[in-house]
Structure 1
Amino acid sequence: MASDVDTAPLVGRADIVTTVRSALLDDVAQGHTAAVFLTGESGVGKTRLLREVSARLRDGGALVLTGSCLDIGDASPLHPLLQALRRFDAELTGSHARTSSAVRSLLQMFADETAGPDGAGALLERVSRGLHLIAEGRPLVLVLDDLQWVDRSTRQLLLYLLAGLGDLQLSVLAAVRAESLQGAHPLRRVLTELRRLRTVRVLDLAPLDRAGTDQLAAAVVGRPLTPEAAELVWQRSGGNPFVVEELARDLRDGRDGLSDTLREIFLARVDALPQPAHAVVHAVAAGVEPVEHWLLARVTRLPEDELIEAVRAAVAHRLLVGADEGYRLRHRLVAEVLEHELLPAERAALHRRYAEALTSAPAELHQARLAHHWRLAGEPARALPAAMAAAREAERLHGWAEAHRHWSVALQLAGSPGVGPLDVDRVTLLEHAAEAAHHCGEHARALALLEELADADRPACALHIRRARYLAAAGRSAPAEAEYQRALRAPDCTPRERATAAAHLAELLLHLGRYADAGRRAREALELSAAVEGSTSEVVLASAALGFSEAYLEDPDAGLAVMRRALETAERSGRPEDVACAYLHLAELLTGPLNVLEEGVVVARRGAERVAELGLGRTYETRLLAIATNGLFRVGQWAEAEKVVAAALRHRPSGADAVELLLARCRLSVGYGDIEAADRDLDAVATVLAGGGARHVIPLLTLRAGLAMWQGRHDLARQAVQRGLTESRSDDVGILAALVWHGLRAEAEAHASRTIAVDETAVRRLREVADRVARKSEHAARPVRDVVDGFLALCAAEVSRLDGSDPELWARSVTEWDRRHHPYPAAYSRLRQAEALLARRSRSATAAKLLRQAYQVAQGLGAVPLTSEIRTLAGRARVSLEERSVAGAPATGPGGDELGALTAREREVLAAVAEGLTNREIGQRLFISERTIGVHVSHIFDKLQVRTRVQASAIFLRNRAG
């Protein structure tokens, strides 16, 4: 079952192609025979693999004859061989007269006597002699497709030749449809006999794994699929390449539903089953997988022996998969196809049998499955309590995505005919559904459900608090703050609600960077909580905010102690959001203002693992991984940071969670010089940040300015910085100092490039802000002042570029960033110090040393734009950036390792290049953009001093072999 035209790449089969080629060509002794029989279900790619291996064998000098068997029994003896000979004869040219004569002689022999007067033995001997003449001493490979339909004469020929009776070096490559080899099929006996020969191998071709499925679908569609689409293709196809291609074409062409081609193929396979097996497949298709054996027996009502035989037949036909936990469909498409083959009454009856069987076996009761079957049986009143029970069970296990789904089902059921108003309180269902949506990251859905609650007779204060929490999670900070203020002013606000509102408001102010305000609200929340019994969550939130505020503004040690106690309290309470919040603020403080990067990354990753256990993977885990990414970026572990952010993005975060992660990824893209990817992330963040605060907006604009400078758009960089200076207030002098540096750098770059005039007013304003930042930082904790001092050193040095760059100021900046172990700004400062020394025509040896140091760091990070600037300056100054042991040879690492100069990520990319993958395929494997892969490949070429992928691959393979 192959596509008519193989437009999609051969995915996930590289190893088996190599194995088959070696078995048929390299591992066969002169004058011996060998065979490989490929088995597998329809559409798994057997025919495509035959074509690929045939091409490899021809390239290796073999003579390849290809033919296919026909589904007409023994009516056409030796048909595949005849077909192969005719195809081969048609391909021969005038220069192959001798070979053509031998082919036509053999074809004439078939025409004269297919059976032959001397019996089958004589025929087989003549065929063998004829093939020997055609081969002319070359290895001969007979490739046969659809061998399950092989005729008796061809079966005899295979046995004769592979037994070594033909005095011919022959290899056979054949594909067999596994589901056809049932019962007493004659080919089963032939394969059994052939397996005894040492040179015969039978290989089962398995479906693609998830990565291969995603790669193939993306190749057909022409772009990576969305996570939802990729998951759907995987679930429906089961990794079958033919099905993957069909589904992907439908996606590409915008077709909905199931194609007629797929529908007819699967219907034909089901119709070929014996009647009991047919009933079994229908039953499993209607069930919730895996379907246990006892449950299937009750639903099908078949006797045990008959049921086992029916299941065995369905498994043999590759429609079912059996395991200890129960039965599954090999392809979920079977369920879609069969859904339309039953009458509505038949489908309802099947689901009723499932529900009754589950109800009668309480030890096996699964509320979610029970709700599913009662609902599809047309019994909403019986499905509703099961759906609610399933939702509560999911909440108990912190499965918030599942809980949201079950509460949504319960809401639908509550409005169904036959469900009375007294059966359930719809307001309660709305509250539960909204809270579950909030916890699993569906913030827009949570807000929409809350709007329905607004019409209900509920306390105003509680509603304000809920709406504020959901708005904050969606990234809409300004309206969230206003809602908390309304809650605190509401006349019906209870002491507990007042404590809750104050604690959450303190946390929000912390996220906005207003640390002094956050500290005041946190103290207020702690005072209110002291008068309320059981207010653990409020204490945790307020303590985390207070600790952060104190650590930033006053005493780092005291603030850290408060935050660690908050984490201990949260862990004792066990409430997921409390634990997550405590980890989040502790990791933020360590990796941010306090600059304890290594410990902060460890805390962030440990917290991410912990909150994932608590069911908050899509929300708090992604935020913690974003913090880890930022910490890794600052210490120069960019390749590791890239892996972390890619892993986090698989959760498909939304709202503020997505903002944190996209900003983290954008920092990497700006550093790498991946302008397109960075621009796309910044646009996405700007869209989400409607109503966002300075904490996110200022980093966004800082990145926008940095990106614009790498593009040579100093006017755009200036605009971004000026806008950032007018944003809402923040106590975070660190992010403001970084913004000011980018503004002064933009003016210095404009001066150096002479593309636009320096804006003296902007320079004056930026210097005033820098002075204000310096004064404000004097009141901050020592670690905060240290970070700010590093940026202020950069600011002073950038100002000096406007009237003759001062190398001493750049040397001070180098010292500041080296002391804090931030390699990127330190490398940038070395570049500028060298530039200043060379401009003054002094200490050229020192400048050369600085350039080499900066180049080594930039190369190790993968910072392409910075590397390019260093290389440009070194070229003008005639400075050699790399020591070479042999003229023209690339520098090697310790022990002569030619790959020693590559980063960990570059090694991964080079390994994939050596496999022959394209940039798009590598990007899909490593979960990064195709453009970023192109940047890495260029960087690899530069470090290895090569010009082609083949040369780079040769170096990789040589070092791996060594």
Structure 2
Amino acid sequence: MASDVDTAPLVGRADLLKSVRSALLDDVAQGHTAAVFLTGESGVGKTRLLREAGAQLRDAGALVLTGSCLDIGDASPLHPLLQALRRFDAELSSSHTRTSSAVRALLQMFADETAGPDGAGALLERVSRGLHLIAEGRPLVLVLDDLQWVDRSTRQLLLYLLAGLGDLQLSVLAAIRAESLQGAHPLRRVLTELRRLRSVRVLDLAPLDRGATEQLAAAVVGRPLAAESADQVWQRSGGNPFVIEELARDLRDGRAGLSETLREIFLARVDALPQHAHAVVHAVAAGVEPVEHWLLAQVVRLPEQELIDAIRATVAHRLLVSADDGYRLRHRLVAEVLADELLPAERSALHRRYAEALTSVEAELHQARLAHHWRLAGEPARALPATVAAAREAERLHGYAEAHRHWSVALQLADAPTVGARTVDRADLLGHAAEAAHHCGEHARALALLEELAGAGGMSTCALHIRRARYLAAAGRSALAEAEYRRALEADDCTPRERATAAAYLAELLLHLGRYADAGRRAREALELTAVVDGATSEVVLASAALGFSEAYLEDPDAGLAVVRRALEIAEQAGRPDDVACAYLHLAELLTGPLNILEEGVVVARRGAERVAELGLGRTYETRLLAIATNGLFRVGQWAEAEKVVAAALRHRPSGADAVELLLARCRLSVGYGDIEAADRDLDAVATVLAGGGARHVIPLLTLRAGLAMWQGRHDLARQAVQRGLTESRSDDVAILAALVWHGLRAEAEAHAGRTVPVDRTAVRRLRDVADRVARKSEKAARPVRDVVDGFLALCAAEVSRLDENEPELWARSVAEWDRRNHPYPAAYSRLRQAEALLARRSRVATAGKLLREAYRTAQGLGAVPMTSEIRTLASRARVTLEEREPSRGRDTAVDPAGDDELATLTAREREVLAAVAEGLTNREIGQRLFISERTIGVHVSHIFDKLQVRTRVQASAIYLRTGRG
């Protein structure tokens, strides 16, 4: 059957199409991602533009997958992607067996997916790998219509892929109905955040102007319009292309006068249909699109030839569109017009026929679709099992938001008078609905369902209190959560295992509230309770972590460390993978966090990563442990090793918070190295992931943005990032807040020194107020935490002095603070500023020279190119020699210029790269060997050339070979 094809030209959108192609294909570098979101009112031409753009991108060599989101009431997790894959598979010819095999393998993966230890993150990673196989090296474009109805799982997948975590050259082109983004629609926040990124464009599709309106109408009619008719079309359409075309067809077909409304247009068109065609269009309007031919045949119950003739009539009257996968209404406005044209009994009968037809076939059953039809057919008893099956199907694919909606519908259905109380366990439904709401962040709803469950007597009192406390804690209502844990401990029906669980979770909560002594007491109580409970390893690990951190904060770090080490031993003896992983994670966090024993913490984190990888928890716990190791290595100045570790962790393609931690860690290295493009790319990736939520990472993200902007000389951008951090985040972490404040004050000091932008005195006052608040809060923190905060506060005080006198003594204090903690990067920065202050006063020039040389050695050793450059500039201006030479011992004792000293300025990573260059490897080959990007290798090679003062790879290789390293 011929499909309905748009014969009207695409008017007034040529420049927009060119912009879309450029943004999604021409301007996207290999391995990068991009997105264009089209917004506009209904009928403005979004779907047509998607189709035209998709065709152009396909002609340009891209692999284009096209899907549509369903109305949220009927959505299943990842529905538009599944639809796109099925469409693509149907289009593949027999000559594309390899691609077809990859598509079907991915579809089978969805069918087989089960909840595993890595959860939703593993699903995202497997989907991205499947898409990578399907793309076969081509650019991949996902074209999605009606994104305002996107399910949460698809939204998370898009953010994961757009962040570059799927290792795909991916572009997304999506259309959004503007009038749907009202109130607290989740997509509004996502688009607000994504608009900030250079790789994302949000284009508002405006109605056509009068000239384009007349051009389109004339093309449909086949001749220029009379002035009166042109004026009527313009006034009644408002430039909406869909309405223009429909009004123009009325003119073309000789209808007397133009219809006043779309309703009149479509009702007149439906009334003109033959009787059977009338039934067809109403049946499709009641269905979930696309409506397959076999399904429509069972619903309208016509002989085949009569059905085909009826469908042809609806297509000819431009009410339906025919495609390989079924029939759709030409526009959703048609459904809105037809909504009130059937009697309630007629609508119910149509939905009943759909449900009966779907139940009768031996094929993959779309449970959400079946539940939808039984429910609208007025058959709650038959809708209930399908709804429960749809909820379980959503949970299997980790779509907890969709599962929560289905469980909620199931509860409504269970209350129907026709559903017998014995056919359903309402308490079971309540329990599932509450847990799904908890998992998808609907905390208030989870608590309300739990209250209803309590009233139904579906749980013991103690278990109810524990579960309520979990939900309250997740909602940030800590005081109420604490009260619930206490009630659980006092409940008469509390078993020893439940009592141990409640005490352990309460200890963890008290620790987060900063009540270290109380946390320690509860942790000891939990450990005593676990002594008489078999198999309570999880509670032992949790309580030990709380006790360990409590002791560390209360100035007894050795005792706390011993407890956590013992918990790791117990977890290893029990052998449960999650417990072993948690124990390693707590130990590494304790060492690198409050205890600030960085070297040992890094060793534990890396050893733990190896162990949990053996246990099959690579994507989650291994990546978290490697993120801890990376940050520790960065702080102690082992940047080259940190680069290796973070590259190894990112090979797991983590998602969510795990990915954010690693991307931020890699970005710190890039900012330090001066690799601006790599740092920008990682920051955009983090911002993309965080568009779906993640407030605790906002300050680290904006702190790095500020640091990068300052090395670029963009002090205004640095100021904006810091002010946004102070405004948008309410973090209580004094250490990360202190780092943000330092960057803010440094930006103002740099602006003052460079005279690039005026100093914002209001911002300075605000930053100093925040610094004072951080100082007061940190007084109650543990000694190691106070040490880190004191270091940043010393930097803050010294930066403030740069706005006036620039006091060397304040910088000397900062040097001492950071040297004492063995943090070479901020110590080198402080030496640079101390030397700058001394030279400005023309005093103690020898001391300033010594400080610059010490800072230079550190910066060179780290590979910190921007800092090295600034040191050189200051040294040159002050005529300070940075390279210390040994005193001459006579004419015959000169240093051999071909000795190892030529490589002394290179970092460990740069020496590895130089060795590979000397082998004749390309940047890509070196990147594959060292597990880092080709672009990062290019940055290292540039640094090597700069340090060795050469211009070619041959010259650099000659120096390497001359030293005897080759």
TM-score by length of 2: 0.51
The answer for the alignment partner of 1:494 in structure 2 is: 497
Post-superposition offset of 1:475: 7.0
| Shift in CA distance, 537/212, structure 1 to aligned 2, threshold 3 Å | closer
> For the Cα contact (< 8 Å) 1:8–1:220, is it kept in 2?
no
Shift of 1:391: 1.5
Question: Partner residue of 1:599?
Answer: 644
Identity %: 39
Aligned residue number for residue 227 of structure 1: 187
Assess, with a 3 A threshold, how the Cα gap between structure 1 residues 648 and 726 changes in structure 2: closer, same or farther: same
Q: What letter matches 2:397 in structure 1?
A: L
Match of 2:862 in 1: 820
Structure 2 match to 1:565: 611
1:706 touches 1:717 (CA, 8 Å); kept in 2? no
C-alpha distance in 2 between matches for 1:451 and 1:767 = 60
In 2: Cα distance, 1:509 partner to 1:312 partner:
74
In 2 relative to 1, CA 581–693 (structure 1 residues): closer, same or farther, beyond 3 Å?
farther
Contact 1:718 1:743 in 2 (8 A): no
Amino acid at match of 2:352: R
Whole-Å separation in 1 of the counterparts to 2:545 and 2:318: 55
SS of the aligned residue for 2:342 comes to coil
CA distance in 1, matches of 2:645, 2:746: 25
Q: Kindly indicate whether the alpha-carbon contact (under 8 Å) linking 1:471 and 1:480 is maintained by their aligned counterparts in 2.
A: yes
Q: Confirm whether residue 545 of structure 1 aligns to residue 545 of structure 2.
A: no
Gaps of 5+ in 1: 18-40, 49-205, 233-237, 251-259, 572-577, 612-616, 778-784, 847-902, 906-962
Q: Could you say if the C-alpha distance between residues 212 and 773 of structure 1 is closer, same or farther in structure 2, counting changes exceeding 3 Å?
A: closer
State the distance in 1 between where 2:461 and 2:47 align: 65
Check whether the contact 1:708–1:717 (CA below 8 A) recurs between aligned residues. no
Q: CA deviation at 1:494?
A: 0.5
Residue aligned with 2:327, SS: strand
CA contact (8 A) 1:811 1:833 kept: no
Which residue of the partner structure matches residue 808 of structure 1?
A: 850
Larger Rg: 1
Task: List aligned pairs for 1:352-501, cutoff 5 A.
Answer: 352-442=352-442, 446=446, 449=449, 458=459, 462=463, 466=467, 492-494=495-497, 497=501, 499-501=537-539
Q: CA deviation at 1:742?
A: 5.1
Displacement of 1:733 after TM fit? 6.2
- Aligned partners of 1:208, 1:598: CA distance in 2, in Å? 40
Question: Does the CA-based 8 Å contact 1:348-1:378 persist in structure 2?
Answer: yes
2:275, 2:431 → 1: CA distance?
Answer: 49
Question: Hey, what's the Cα distance between the residues in 2 that align with 1:503 and 1:802?
Answer: 51
Aligned equivalents of 1:46 and 1:486: distance in 2?
56
Q: Which residue of 2 aligns with 1:584?
A: 624
Which residue of the partner structure matches residue 294 of structure 2? 294
**Distance of 2:345 and 2:496 partners within structure 1:** 53
CA contact (8 A) 2:719 2:748 kept: no
DSSP-derived class of the 1:327 partner: strand
Residue 834 in structure 1 maps to residue 873 in structure 2: yes
1:759-798 to 2 correspondences below 5 Å? 775=820, 777=821, 785=822, 788-798=823-833
Instruction: State how far apart, in whole Å, the 1-side matches of 2:664 and 2:440 are.
Output: 17
The residue identity in structure 1 corresponding to 2:280 is V
1:949 aligns with none
Counterpart CA distance in 1 for 2:207 and 2:543 is 54
Aligned AA (2:609): M
The alpha carbon displacement at 1:386 in A equals 1.8
Distance 1:14 1:580, change over 3 A: closer
Q: Is the 8 A contact 1:481 1:505 kept in 2?
A: no
Matches within 5 A, 1:75-86: none
Q: Separation in 2 of the partners of 1:589 and 1:600? A: 7
The within-5 A match list for 1:156-167 is none
Matching residue of 1:12: 17
The answer on whether the counterparts of 2:630 and 2:665 sit within 8 Å (CA) in structure 1 is: no
Q: Quick one: which amino acid aligns to residue 720 of structure 1?
A: V
Structure 1 contact 547–560 (Cα < 8 Å) conserved: no
Residues 522 and 546 in structure 1, CA contact (< 8 A), matched pair in contact too: yes
| Deviation (angstroms), 1:546 | 2.6
Counterpart amino acid of residue 280 in structure 1: V
Give, in whole Å, the separation in 2 of the partners of 1:668 and 1:249: 42
2:341 alignment partner, SS class = coil
- Look up the equivalent residue of 2:696 and give its one-letter code: V
The Cα of 1:374 is off from its aligned counterpart by: 1.8
Q: 1:549 to 1:741 in 2, by over 3 A?
A: closer
- CA offset at residue 664 of structure 1? 1.8
**Letter of the aligned partner of 2:772 in structure 1?**
Q
C-alpha distance 758-797 of structure 1, shift in aligned 2 (>3 A):
closer
Q: 1:228 to 1:248 in 2, by over 3 A?
A: farther
CA distance in 1, matches of 2:478, 2:736: 10
Task: Write the distance in 2 (CA, Å) between the matches of 1:526 and 1:304.
Answer: 70
1:671 and 2:700 matched: no
Query: 1:753 maps to what in 2?
Result: 803
1:811-890, aligned counterparts within 5 Å? 811-823=853-865, 827-828=866-867, 830-831=869-870, 834-835=873-874, 838=877, 840=878
Q: What letter corresponds to residue 723 of structure 1 in structure 2?
A: R
The CA distance in 1 between the partners of 2:47 and 2:294, in whole Å, is 36
Q: Structure 1 pair 308/602, CA: closer, same or farther in 2 (3 Å)?
A: farther
| Maintained 8 Å contact 1:354/1:373 | yes
Do the aligned partners of 1:604 and 1:628 also contact (CA within 8 Å) in 2?
A: no
How many angstroms apart in 2 are the aligned matches of 1:248 and 1:735? Answer: 64
Other-structure match for 1:23: none
The C-alpha deviation readout for 1:794-841, integer Å capped at 9, x for no partner, is 334445555556353244334324423444xxx246436634763x57
Are the structure 2 counterparts of residues 750 and 648 from structure 1 closer, same or farther at C-alpha, using a change threshold of 3 Å?
A: closer
Q: In 2, Cα distance between the equivalents of 1:249 and 1:727?
A: 59
> Alpha carbon RMSD of aligned pairs, Å?
5.8
Match of 2:772 in 1: 722
State which drifts further: 213-222 or 500-509.
213-222
Contact 1:217 1:225 in 2 (8 A): no
Aligned partner letter, 1:589: A
Contact 1:374 1:382 in 2 (8 A): yes
- Deviations along 1:761-806, one digit per CA (max 9) or x if unpaired, are xx87x9878756655x4xxxxxxx4xx1222333344455555563
Q: 1:559 to 1:699 in 2, by over 3 A?
A: same
Q: Residues of 2 paired with 1:218 and 1:513: CA distance? A: 54
| 8 Å Cα contact 2:742-2:795 kept in structure 1 | no
Distance 1:392 1:459 in 2: 25
Structure 1 distance, partners of 2:239, 2:724, is 28
**Closer, same or farther: CA 648–671 of 1 in aligned 2, 3 Å:** closer
CA contact (8 A) 1:505 1:521 kept: no
